[in-house]
């Protein structure tokens, strides 16, 4: 098997995830600039407006996920990914040229729509063009490139004004369209449309000229033939509702760990925590740690297995949120009214210089490290692995919509909780959710390492067990 063209196709697709990671954390360096007294009066934000600017992205992502539910099955995964470049490009144009708050919010919403579409389409596309020996590692690529996109935003935010950050954001989506024009459609999609010769040609292009495509084509075709169009009565059977519920609950728990509000408000959180370094440098350090951890997860995905990494991830997140809860509870709140330039109720006080001031930074790094090793990439990967083929496009869009609606509510409520109670209450809630993640992994999630998509479907259909043991 020659994987070089497969790697090129995956790279072309995950440029959408790079753009997603970049746009997700766009508010982190931008909000402090637009809250400062030096900001353009037409764009200067108060607490409520900044809360909407941070959270409306996730509302757009939910809309994009719902749109992908229909586009994935109507026009296919590849074209759905390409369509996502349209709202992304328009959104960044509005952000870069904004002259009022309405343009800022509209631009942020549209980039969220693009992010939701890519989050629903790209993992499915990659799983369907990859063979099982490398599917675990390639399945981590969306998360890795999203993390790299976030890190790029943090680093560029150190040197560029916020408008130029929007201009730079145009590039990845445009490059993605150019490359995807030359990439193949999913062989599974082609077979489902009855285009067997095109599917054979695509498989030979992806696997190499000397690859025997017949066995893989027959396996895929058998899977398609045994499943017609899904009906409501079928959704009541374990082979359908179990994988869909596992995927939906995993996406829900993934967001309830607090990863989105922490990333969106990373710089204001560090300002509130009185860490020794400037918040923008702390954010960049966390971005580096996050990238390092997802690379480790990708290398271990097909060696250690999904469940082992999820256990490790849950424990690291639990320990870090426990530490953050204790530290934030013992840290006294600053007296007096909220300063006029405070962001989302976070105190913009001076940076600390004692040894204990490093604990929030280190704990946040451990939280990000743990999340990016397990619940970050594996949730995306398992969604694309366990969902039934006949319902994969619609169900993946449903998962993304649930995920981002949860993220929207949590990101908005997070600002109100911090304003009213400080960081203690949100961190306590995140700690409880991490315990639930640990239990859910132990009871409900199957081990899919080394299994073909057809074997995984058969597992849910027959009820037979496979875990770490072969």
Q: What is the pLDDT of residues 240-277, one digit of tens each?
A: 778 888 888 998 999 999 998 888 888 778 777 666 56
The partner residues of 343 in beta bridges, in order of sequence, read 346
Contact 124, 73 (CB under 8 A): no
Give the span between the Cα atoms of 157 and 32, in whole angstroms.
Answer: 11
Q: Considering only 68-72, 196-200, 297-301, which range has the smallest mean pLDDT?
A: 297-301
Most confident range (mean pLDDT) of 136-140, 305-309, 382-386 is 305-309
Give the span between the Cα atoms of 413 and 332, in whole angstroms.
Answer: 22
Give the pLDDT confidence score for residue 463 in this predicted structure. 61
Average pLDDT for residues 344-372, to the nearest whole number?
68
Asked if residue 101 is part of any domain, the answer here is yes
Asked if residue 403 is part of any domain, the answer here is yes
Q: Which two tokens stand for residue 123?
A: 């993992």
Asked if residue 374 is part of any domain, the answer here is yes
Asked if residue 212 is part of any domain, the answer here is no
Contact 443, 333 (CB under 8 A): no
Average pLDDT for residues 187-216, to the nearest whole number?
85
DSSP, collapsed to helix, strand or coil, labels residue 425 as helix
Q: Are residues 6 and 133 in the same domain?
A: yes
Average pLDDT, the chain: 81
Q: Which of 168, 183, 198 is the last residue of a domain?
A: 183
Q: Are residues 412 and 313 in the same domain?
A: yes
Asked if residue 228 is part of any domain, the answer here is no
Label residue 345 exposed, middle or buried (CB < 10 Å: 0-12, 13-18, 19+). buried
From residue 9, how far is each of 13, 80, 125, 139, 306 by CA, in Å?
Answer: 6, 15, 10, 13, 24
Q: What is the pLDDT of residues 396-422, one digit of tens each?
A: 767 777 888 898 889 888 888 888 788
Other Cβ atoms less than 10 A from the Cβ of 233: the count is 8
Q: Are residues 154 and 52 in the same domain?
A: yes
Q: Are residues 246 and 106 in the same domain?
A: no
The pLDDT-based confidence of 439 (bands split at 50, 70, 90) is very high
**Residue 462 scores a pLDDT above 70:** no
Q: Are residues 172 and 262 in the same domain?
A: no
Q: Which two tokens stand for residue 239?
A: 């082979």
**Residue 215 scores a pLDDT above 50:** yes
Higher pLDDT, 66 or 105: 105
Asked if residue 218 is part of any domain, the answer here is no
**Residue 434 scores a pLDDT above 90:** yes
Q: Considering only 12-26, 88-102, 257-271, which range has the smallest mean pLDDT?
A: 257-271
Q: Are residues 392 and 316 in the same domain?
A: yes
Q: Are residues 317 and 431 in the same domain?
A: yes
The pLDDT-based confidence of 168 (bands split at 50, 70, 90) is very high
Those residues with Cβ within 8 angstroms of residue 303's Cβ, 6 or more apart along the chain or in another chain:
none
The pLDDT-based confidence of 448 (bands split at 50, 70, 90) is confident
Most confident range (mean pLDDT) of 163-172, 228-237, 293-302, 379-388 is 163-172
Q: Are residues 294 and 145 in the same domain?
A: no
From residue 167, how far is each of 14, 55, 88, 134, 467 by CA, in Å?
Answer: 20, 21, 11, 35, 47
Higher pLDDT, 316 or 308: 316
Closest C-alpha to 61, from 23, 129, 139, 114: 114
pTM of the model: 0.77
Q: Are residues 179 and 262 in the same domain?
A: no
Give the pLDDT confidence score for residue 393 in this predicted structure. 60
Give the span between the Cα atoms of 307 and 314, in whole angstroms.
Answer: 10
List the CATH number of the domain containing 272: 1.20.1250.20
Those residues with Cβ within 8 angstroms of residue 330's Cβ, 6 or more apart along the chain or in another chain:
none
Q: Are residues 13 and 92 in the same domain?
A: yes
Q: Are residues 176 and 269 in the same domain?
A: no
Asked if residue 395 is part of any domain, the answer here is yes
The pLDDT-based confidence of 321 (bands split at 50, 70, 90) is very high
Give the pLDDT confidence score for residue 378 in this predicted structure. 82
The pLDDT-based confidence of 218 (bands split at 50, 70, 90) is confident
How many domains does the chain divide into?
2
Q: Are residues 31 and 141 in the same domain?
A: yes
Q: Which of 148, 165, 183 is the last residue of a domain?
A: 183
Q: What is the pLDDT of residues 46-63, one digit of tens each?
A: 878 888 888 899 899 889
Determine the structural domain holding residue 96 and report its residue range: 1-183
Contact 136, 301 (CB under 8 A): yes
The pLDDT-based confidence of 104 (bands split at 50, 70, 90) is very high
Those residues with Cβ within 8 angstroms of residue 308's Cβ, 6 or more apart along the chain or in another chain:
468
Q: Which of 161, 183, 205 is the last residue of a domain?
A: 183
Average pLDDT for residues 454-469, to the nearest whole number?
61
Q: Considering only 14-28, 213-227, 330-344, which range has the smallest mean pLDDT?
A: 330-344
The pLDDT-based confidence of 227 (bands split at 50, 70, 90) is low
Give the pLDDT confidence score for residue 467 in this predicted structure. 44
Contact 95, 166 (CB under 8 A): yes
Asked if residue 328 is part of any domain, the answer here is yes
Average pLDDT for residues 164-190, to the nearest whole number?
91
């Amino acid at each position: 098997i020659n994987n070089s063209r497969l790697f090129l196709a995956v790279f072309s697709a995950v440029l959408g995830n790079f753009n997603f990671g970049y746009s997700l954390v766009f508010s982190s360096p931008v909000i402090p600039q637009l809250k400062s007294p030096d900001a353009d009066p037409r764009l200067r934000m108060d607490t409520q407006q900044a809360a909407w600017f941070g959270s409306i992205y996730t509302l757009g992502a939910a809309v994009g996920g719902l749109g992908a539910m229909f586009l994935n099955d109507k026009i296919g995964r590849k074209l759905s990914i390409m369509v996502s470049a349209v709202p992304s490009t328009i959104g960044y144009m509005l952000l870069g040229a904004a002259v009022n708050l309405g343009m800022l919010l509209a631009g942020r919403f549209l980039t969220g729509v693009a992010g939701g579409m890519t989050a629903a389409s790209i993992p499915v596309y990659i799983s369907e063009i990859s063979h099982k020996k490398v599917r675990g590692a390639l399945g981590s690529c969306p998360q890795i490139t999203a993390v790299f996109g976030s890190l790029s935003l943090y680093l560029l935010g150190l040197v560029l004004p916020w408008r130029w950050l929007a201009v730079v954001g145009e590039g990845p989506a445009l490059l993605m369209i150019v490359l995807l024009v030359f990439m193949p459609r999913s062989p599974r999609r082609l077979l489902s449309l009855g285009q067997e010769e095109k599917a054979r040609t695509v498989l030979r292009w992806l696997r190499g000229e000397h690859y025997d495509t017949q066995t893989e084509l027959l396996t895929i075709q058998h899977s398609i033939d045994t499943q017609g169009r899904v009906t409501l009565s079928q959704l009541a059977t374990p082979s359908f509702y179990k994988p869909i519920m596992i995927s939906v609950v995993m996406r829900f728990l993934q967001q309830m760990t607090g990863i989105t509000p922490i990333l969106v408000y990373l710089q204001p959180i560090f300002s509130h925590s009185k860490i020794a370094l400037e918040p923008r440098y702390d954010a960049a350090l966390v971005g580096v740690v996050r990238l390092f951890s997802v690379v480790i997860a990708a290398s271990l995905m097909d060696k250690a297995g999904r469940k082992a990494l999820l256990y490790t991830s849950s424990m690291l997140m639990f320990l870090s949120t426990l530490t953050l809860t204790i530290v934030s509870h013992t840290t006294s709140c600053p007296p007096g009214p909220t300063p006029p330039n405070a962001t989302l109720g976070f105190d913009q006080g001076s940076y600390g210089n004692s040894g204990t001031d490093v604990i929030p930074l280190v704990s946040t790094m451990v939280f990000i490290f743990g999340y990016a090793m397990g619940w970050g990439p594996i949730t995306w990967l398992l969604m694309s692995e366990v969902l039934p083929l006949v319902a994969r496009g619609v169900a993946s869009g449903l998962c993304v919509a649930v995920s981002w609606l949860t993220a929207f509510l949590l990101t908005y409520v997070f600002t109100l909780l911090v304003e009213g109670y400080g960081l203690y209450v949100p961190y306590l809630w995140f700690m409880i959710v991490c315990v639930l993640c640990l239990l859910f992994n132990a009871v409900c999630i199957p081990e899919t390492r080394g299994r073909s998509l057809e074997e995984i479907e058969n597992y849910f259909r027959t009820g037979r067990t496979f875990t770490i043991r072969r």
